[in-house]
Amino acid sequence: MKILIGGDSWGCGEWGYNEQNQHGLLHHGLEEYLKNDGHEVINTSKGGSSNKDSINRLKNALNFDPDIILWFQSDPLRDNRPYDSFADICNTWDNLINYNDSLLIENYKSLNDIGKKIYCIGGCSKIKINLVGEFSNLIPLIESVPEFLYPNYKHSEIWVSDWIIKADSLSTDVLEPLLKTKSSKDILKSKIHAKYFQPDGAHPNRYGILKVYEQIKLLVGLT
């Protein structure tokens, strides 16, 4: 089958340091497993990408005429780069959550407008089932990769991404729950999650991605 993948670094594969101590891809993850099974794959995922950019890359690759589209959801707040208005928009925790969700709705609408069935996978941010359900072309395949790999893990509402550079301008009402959120994210770097989140602790490794791939094959009907 012809399979198109989109997303951020979570769609790229396993990340870590090579023998030259340079951080980069050590394994091409889902793309590699699909190709090994004989599928034709285009992977438009890019490290550090926003959802908006990853969706645009998907749209630019549609001439590939894919049978299946898989999309890894990134941190929605990255769409606000360079974050110049971030502190004004997100001056309370509720406003931060609402703004995060409003960006996701825009992402889901843009994906839905592609006009093809798209299987959505929650990577660094969790698929919002209540929001994605409004769009008929979107299928929430795996709500949260971390929760799928570790059922006792609770995915945070907000993923602490590069927008944290604006933390000094955020109110206490936002910063206090953010500290708890960051702790939730850092749990993935702990030794108890080494099986699926080492070597870099910030992305699932080849073994975690293989487990995700087996679930995708089961749910999508790939052979």
| Residue entry with tokens 């798209």 | 118
* Beta-sheet pairing, 14-17 with 23-27: antiparallel
Omega before 82 cis (within 30°)? yes
Enumerate domains of the chain plus CATH numbers: 2-220 (3.40.50)
The phi and psi torsions of 219 (rounded to 5 degrees) equal -80, -35
pLDDT tens across 141-165, in order? 999 999 999 999 999 999 988 888 7
pLDDT tens across 92-147, in order? 999 999 999 999 999 999 999 999 999 999 999 999 999 999 999 999 999 999 99
- Judged against a pLDDT cut of 80, whether residue 167 lies above it is answered with no
CA-to-CA distance for 180 and 111, rounded, in angstroms? 31
